[in-house]
Amino acid sequence: GVPAGAVCAVAEADAAIDGATHALTWEVAGRPAQASDLTWGGVELKNAVKTAPVEKGATVELAATNTYEDAGKAGFSVTKKVSGVDADALNGQKFSFDYTCTAADRGNVTGSFELAAGETFSSVEAGVELVRGASCVVSEREPGAVEGLRFDGVTFDRVSGEGEFASDKAGARVSFTLGDVTKPVVFTATNAYTPEEKPATPEAKTILATVNGGKEIKADDVTETVELVDTIQYSNLVAGTTYVADGTLVAADGSATPVHAHATFTPEGKEGERVNGTVEVTFQVPAKIVAGTTTLTAYEKIWEADKVDVPTEGDGKVTPKNPEDKPVASHEVPDDKDQTVTITPPTPEPADQTIELTKVVEGAEAGDREFAFTLACGEQSQDVALKAGAKTQLKAKAGAQCTLSEKDADIEGYTSQVSFAGKGLEVTSKDRTATFTVPATSEATGTVEIMASNVYTPEDKPAPEIGTVASNANASDADNGKVIEVGRDATIRDTIAWKNLPAGEYTIVPTLMRNVDGQAEKVEGAQAAPVALTVAEGETEGTVITKISVPADEITPNATFVVFEKVYAASDVTTQGVVEGATPVATHEDINDEGQTLTTTTPAPAPTTLQLEKVALNAAGEPITDREFRFTLACSAGEEKVERDLTVKAGAATEAIEVPAGAQCVLTEDADAATIDGTEPELTFSANDADVHVGVEGLKASFTMPTGDAVSVVLKATNTYPDTEVPPTPATPDTPATPDTPD
């Protein structure tokens, strides 16, 4: 409330709106009132009005009206455009502009801006203060060069606005006046470009391969040199001009090898014209270069012949006469598979392995006698002699197949049995000779050991011996007892006949071996349980049976298995196997002993078959059905012959016919059965096997059946009749309705 008699002053706070002007008018008690600036109660008020003294109980009404108008700003707006080329070809290039605007009593307003194609600059939005009537000049600086494009100048075109406007293409600028504060001058700046044709530039691509076109070299196969051929595919060389192709081979690490080669050539064609072609550069690569890298890549340069010196001897390296000269074309891409061959590294030389040989003598006094041995590994051999109880070390390559033979083990008055045992390797012993493969390492000591044991028996006391006969425990009769069936698990029974074993406890250990070209290889999957043997006092001979289980996957066609047997003192065999280094009491390990040998069955090869599929089509490619066709088939392979008459319905196929693998075959279609309404067909053949190539002459096809096991060939014979329509398919009559059954 306001006290009666009070006089009030009222003013409006800041009511300004950006970009607009406004006017304030007042009404007091319904009548216009003049506003003025005044100080009231110590407060300065702008555009304020006063009321008359307020009567008690009365209401004083005041109305303040704000009228706004757009203030307007003078200015210009420019949009960058390009013509003659897609904007993407400019890679986002920015174009630089400068402007100067001059107005009376305002001086110069200057500035700069940058635009990419499609962007717009507005002086109003940029906050540039310009006034109506100002004269402006906007100029574009020389744009940066763009490869493949020629800049043809900039033109300025007004889109909207008032006042003078003049574009100066030669000066790359536009002049204009700002004629209206509410309508800026809007224009475009268009840069014109013309694509430039690139001059034909010589180019080269290369394909490096062996002389047979291969892309791989096995280092082990290269003893001296290997020849590589680099085929250079060149383009845009000048016909009639002589060039030199200069090649260098680069190793996998990117370093240039000392292998260079070159070829001098003159492209054929109309003299002076640009032509394409190929030239070959041949490299002779030494074995040591091949062994020293995993890839070889050909780097090639093509020079004008008069720019280089071509060597007649030496390393074959071409040298430019002027170091500043450049080749007309080159191809030097490290990861280009076309210009690269890969190399299978050489097999590493096996490391030397130490073999510790120990001489053991039992049953006789050897004294100072030395026992002589020969170790033969491949073409390398060495002789060694050592006394009973002594040790010596031998050297052999890891992986080598070796024999260790004792030369003379006889001691007068005694018979002897020589056997060998291994520690860290498998040893096969026969006739005073040990056969073994040198392992790469020994887990225990880093060396492997062989114990050569001579057991002597007085001549009046016979030496222990064993003989074995192996057979198929699953065989139904004696004729099959020495054969194991392929594809099935097998059990081998080995009957051991022993003689002259001293009384005591023994363990017989069987091992199944595979005879591979006369070498014994252990069958790792076979399970053979040791068998205990007790020899009583006075007992001099007997038999023992051992059994070996062989899984089907170890029984392969044409394999030969041999059972080896060793007799050990019972204390030398534990549940973990034979104690390493233990010497057998008796052995029977003869890879060629028929009694110990079994073979596997050889399954009959699966037959090769031929099936004929028949298709008949009219000219529209529509099938002709319900018609039978007749053929005769004749195949021969040596003395094997197959001749068949075949009948097959269109859209069907014959049964599979057994045909000799590799047979030469002729298939002839019967002309009468193939003719429809007097029209003979066009006969074509196709096969499901890409190796079967069919030659067609009239109604006769010739082809060769593939070789191999269980090959099935489907031959499709297609008759196409140019003037024959598809016989109409008879309509199927409607099935009469079933009458209702009376209730």
pLDDT tens by residue, 643-655: 999 999 999 999 9
> Is there a contact between 357 and 392 (Cβ–Cβ < 8 Å)?
yes
Kindly write down the DSSP assignment for every residue of 481-505, as one continuous string: TTEE-TTS-EEEEEEEEEE-PPSEE
Q: Whole-model pTM?
A: 0.39
Q: Is 312 helix (H, G, I), strand (E, B) or coil?
A: coil
| Element of type H or E holding 704 | strand 700-704
What would the pLDDT profile of 385-441 be if each residue is shown by its tens digit?
A: 999 999 999 988 888 899 999 988 888 888 888 889 888 888 888 888 999 998 876
Average pLDDT of the segment spanning 735-742: 47
What's the mean per-residue pLDDT of the chain?
Answer: 87
- Report yes or no: 492 and 598 within 8 Å, Cβ to Cβ: yes
More confident residue, 316 or 707: 707
In which residue are the tokens 């053949």 written? Answer: 685
Say yes or no to pLDDT of 182 above 80.
no
Percent of the chain with pLDDT over 90: 51
Is the pLDDT assigned to residue 17 strictly greater than 80? no
| Tens-place pLDDT, residues 429-476 | 888 899 999 887 655 455 689 999 998 888 777 888 898 898 888 877
Q: Is 239 exposed, middle or buried (0-12, 13-18, 19+ CB in 10 A)?
A: middle
Pair 270, 239: CB distance under 8 Å? yes
Residue 480: which pLDDT band, with cuts at 50, 70 and 90?
low
Out of 73-77, 198-202, 357-361, least confident range: 198-202
Which of 14-28, 109-123, 629-643, 647-661 is predicted with the least confidence, judged by mean pLDDT?
14-28
Tell me the mean pLDDT in the region 295-300. Answer: 94
pLDDT of the residue at 730: 46
Q: Write out the DSSP string of 594-606.
A: GGGEEEE--PPPP
Q: What is the pLDDT of residues 85-95, one digit of tens each?
A: 888 888 889 99
pLDDT value for 24: 82
Least confident range of 155-164, 311-320, 499-508: 311-320
Give the lowest-confidence range in 310-314, 336-340, 548-552, 648-652. Answer: 310-314
Closest to 426 in 3D by CA, of 458, 450, 461: 450
Which among 628, 599, 603, 598 is positioned nearest to 614, based on CA atoms?
Answer: 628
Q: Which long-range contacts (CB under 8 A, 24 or more apart) does 32-41 make?
A: 38/9, 40/9, 41/9
Whose tokens are 């595919």? That residue is 233
**Beta-sheet pairing, 107-116 with 149-160:** unpaired
Ramachandran region, residue 163 (left: φ > 0; alpha: ψ -120 to 50; beta: rest): left
SS3 320: strand
Residue whose tokens read 């030669």? 170
Helix (H/G/I), strand (E/B), else coil: 418: strand
pLDDT, mean of residues 307-326: 86
User: Using alpha carbons only, how large is the chain's radius of gyration in Å?
Assistant: 53
Residue 433's pLDDT is 92
Task: Report which residue type is found at 88.
Answer: D
Structure confidence at residue 550 as a pLDDT band (50, 70, 90): very high
Distances (CA, A) of 541 to 442, 534, 584, 737: 39, 11, 18, 96
Helix H or strand E segment including 302: strand 295-304
**210, 341 Cβ separation under 8 angstroms:** yes
Tell whether the model's pLDDT for residue 737 goes beyond 60.
Answer: no
Alpha carbon 242 to chain centroid distance? 41
pLDDT at 731 over 50: no
Amino acid at 449: E
Q: Residue 349's pLDDT band (boundaries 50, 70, 90)?
A: confident
Q: Is residue 43's pLDDT more than 80?
A: yes
Single out the residue of 198, 200, 202 nearest to residue 329, CA to CA.
202
Range with the lowest mean pLDDT among 552-566, 704-718, 725-739? 725-739
- The pLDDT score that the predictor gives to residue 743 is 40
Residue with tokens 């040591």: 288
